[in-house]
Amino acid sequence: MNRTIVETTRERIKPVNRELMQQAQARLDAKTKPPGALGRLEEFARRMVAISGTGSPDTSKKVIYTFAGDHGVTDEGVALYPKAVTTQMVYNFLAGGAGVNVLARHVGAEVRVVDVGVDNDFGDLAGVIHRKVARGTRNFAKGPAMTREEMLAAITVGIDLAEQCRVEGIALVGTGEMGIGNTTPSSAIIAAISGKAVRDVTHRGTGIDDDALELKIRVIEQGLAINQPDSTNPLDVLAKVGGLEIAAIAGLVLGCAANGIPVVIDGFISTAGALIASELHPNVADYIFAAHRSMEIGHSFMLERIGVEPILDLNLRLGEGTGAALAMSLIEAGVKTLNEMATREQAGVTHE
Ligand SMILES: Cc1cc2ncn([C@H]3O[C@H](COP(=O)(O)O)[C@@H](O)[C@H]3O)c2cc1C
Ligand SMILES: O=C(O)c1cccnc1
């Protein structure tokens, strides 16, 4: 059997450079501050050094990929907003008016919009990265969301973009998504992988009421019962109950790990993609910065399973890459303290 790009990418992932990490901490400890006094900013700085393999990482090039895709499972009434909003928001991203555009500008990051599965023909619309695999997934309450080929094609989109980031010298990559209904497959993924009750990992998405939440839980339970995803096979879970944009995020995270690029994952849906990547290789987590803890109740279980601690806790529940943008600024701040703070020796501060 031909080896897939997922397998060859997976095999390139190495542990991060622990020696460089220790050297970075020693440099931080020589700065004009008590040891450890910059708290998690020090963690961000030493991890950025270890991931990138450079002593003084340059964080000026920051890119957020916002992957858009539609979901057949919206036929079941699991989302508050109509599917058409996915397409409308793509135009909003291009016009620079969405939440992620504002927050990315705020931190000096570029937003790149990728159509991996929107149920709309954008033609050759400028400003979009056109990598459509299908016009949305199928309804996973009735059968698999994707074929194995579609799932692999969507992962490949993310892997290709990570390769391009290495060529471009992007210092920090962020993940984002837009896809009406996509909290439903995200809950299905964590339920399938962790074995937790669907009720314990399913929440209100854009703001559904109690009745719609009960329906959403039943739809996910039905989807898991019909598709029987193999909890030990993350790609099987992804194909059966995932989404095209979630697969692309899994590929981007995997590709960043393979290329030594730090990747900032956004909220619930992005973390579902990162979870798939993390289940594929134990060292993927070393390359991940978890931007924030989402309001979705299943998010903490995902973060715990990956083994990452969120940077922010701001009651965010938007997605798009909004939290990733904000967290990038703190990661960059940590790196700047390493690059720019004076040592005690340089400043003539004589305490030990
Ligand atoms: C105007 C608008 C902008 C958004 N930007 C992100 N999302 C977020 O909400 C959706 C997921 O929630 P659910 O599963 O409940 O549909 C995704 O598109 C996610 O990116 C949005 C949703 C809306 C309505
Ligand atoms: O956590 C998120 O990213 C999220 C939560 C609800 C709806 N959209 C996104």
What's the CA gap between 150 and 116, in Å, rounded?
10
DSSP codes joined into one string, 145-181: SS-HHHHHHHHHHHHHHHHHHHHHT-SEEEEEEE-TT
What would you measure as the largest C-alpha separation in the chain, in angstroms? 70
CA 255 to ligand 1 center in whole angstroms: 26
Residue 131 and residue 26 share a domain: no
What's the CA gap between 150 and 137, in Å, rounded?
9
Residue 115 and residue 20 share a domain: no
Does the beta carbon of 188 sit less than 6 angstroms from any atom of ligand 1?
Answer: no
Residue 111: how many CB atoms within 10 A of its CB? 23
Cβ-Cβ contacts under 8 Å for 241 (sequence gap 6 or more): 140, 145, 185, 188, 189, 192, 220, 223, 224, 227, 229
Residue 272 and residue 247 share a domain: yes
Residue 151 and residue 299 share a domain: yes
> Looking at ligand 2, which residue's alpha carbon is closest to its atom 7?
205
Residue 279 lies in a domain: yes
Cβ-Cβ contacts under 8 Å for 84 (sequence gap 6 or more): none
> Looking at ligand 1, which residue's alpha carbon is closest to its atom 21?
318
What's the CA gap between 158 and 144, in Å, rounded?
21
Residue 35: how many CB atoms within 10 A of its CB? 11
**Model confidence over 51-87: pLDDT tens digits?**
999 999 999 999 999 999 999 999 999 999 999 999 9
> What per-residue confidence (pLDDT) applies to 351?
63
Q: Are β-strands 110-117 and 263-265 bridged in parallel, bridged antiparallel, or unpaired?
A: unpaired
Residue 37 and residue 168 share a domain: no
- Ligand positioned closest to the Cα atom of 179: 1
Which atom in ligand 2 lies closest to the alpha carbon of residue 269? 3
> What per-residue confidence (pLDDT) applies to 25?
98
> Based on the structure, what is the number of domains in the chain?
2
Pair 207, 225: CB distance under 8 Å: no
> What per-residue confidence (pLDDT) applies to 184?
99
Residue 139 and residue 35 share a domain: no
Does the beta carbon of 180 sit less than 6 angstroms from any atom of ligand 1?
Answer: yes
Does the beta carbon of 319 sit less than 6 angstroms from any atom of ligand 1?
Answer: yes
Residue 163 and residue 214 share a domain: yes
Residue 16 lies in a domain: yes
**Residue among 177, 320, 332, 340 flagged as catalytic:** 320
Residue 296 lies in a domain: yes
Which long-range contacts does 102-106 make (Cβ < 8 Å, 24+ apart)?
Answer: 103/322, 103/325, 103/326, 104/64, 104/321, 104/325, 106/325, 106/326, 106/329
> What per-residue confidence (pLDDT) applies to 93?
99
> What per-residue confidence (pLDDT) applies to 3?
82
> What per-residue confidence (pLDDT) applies to 40?
98
Residue 153 and residue 18 share a domain: no
Cβ-Cβ contacts under 8 Å for 290 (sequence gap 6 or more): 265, 271, 303, 306, 308, 309, 310, 311
Residue 332 is among the residues annotated as catalytic for this protein: no
- Ligand positioned closest to the Cα atom of 118: 1
> What per-residue confidence (pLDDT) applies to 1?
47
> What per-residue confidence (pLDDT) applies to 350?
85
Residue 221, both tokens? 């339970």
Which atom in ligand 1 lies closest to the alpha carbon of residue 319? 20
Pair 203, 298: CB distance under 8 Å: yes
Residue 177 and residue 37 share a domain: no
CA 284 to ligand 2 center in whole angstroms: 22
Residue 352 lies in a domain: no
Q: What is the mean pLDDT of each run of 10 residues along the chain (352 residues)?
A: 87 98 98 98 98 95 99 98 99 99 98 99 98 99 98 98 98 98 99 98 98 99 99 98 99 98 99 99 98 98 98 98 99 98 96 62
SS3 at position 246: helix
> What per-residue confidence (pLDDT) applies to 146?
98
Residue 224 and residue 184 share a domain: yes
Which helix (H) or strand (E) covers residue 301, if one does?
A: helix 299-306
What's the CA gap between 243 and 144, in Å, rounded?
10
Q: What CATH number does the domain containing 42 carry?
A: 1.10.1610.10
Residue 147 and residue 20 share a domain: no
Residue 162 and residue 247 share a domain: yes
CA 120 to ligand 2 center in whole angstroms: 22
| Structural domain span for residue 280 | 62-332
Residue 74 lies in a domain: yes
CA 16 to ligand 2 center in whole angstroms: 30
Q: What CATH number does the domain containing 225 carry?
A: 3.40.50.10210
